[in-house]
Amino acid sequence: MSTAMNFGSKSFKPRAPEKGAFPLDHFGECKTFKETFMRCLRDNSYDSSQCRLQSRGYLECRMEHQLMAKEPLEKLGFRDLQDSPLSPADRESEP
């Protein structure tokens, strides 16, 4: 037996996703960053430690386009990369 959900009722109140839930990038605003990160992962046998600059760029893009809550990079595990410049390949993929 299933229970029907009545989303039309006035008692339903949407709430923001919990931390860690990411809205989809429907407009592809961070697509180039995602592709650069995924290419890096493939090229490095999916060793994410080799792709931290690309990961940082992707997360920064998501924060800039309000696809995730703004967080200090050190809270996201990038304290050691705070002042690291992006490589030419990373700069090239910036929109």
Give per-residue pLDDT as tens, 8-61. Answer: 556 667 666 566 666 789 899 999 999 999 999 999 999 999 999 999 999 999
Can you give the pTM of this predicted structure? Answer: 0.64
Residue 95 has pLDDT above 80, yes or no: no
Cβ partners under 8 Å of residue 94, min gap 6: 32, 33, 57, 86
Q: Other CB atoms closer than 10 Å to residue 61's CB: what's the count?
A: 21
Query: What are the residue ranges spanned by the domains of the chain?
Result: 31-92
pLDDT of residue 79: 87
Identify the band that residue 81 occupies on the pLDDT scale cut at 50, 70 and 90. Answer: confident
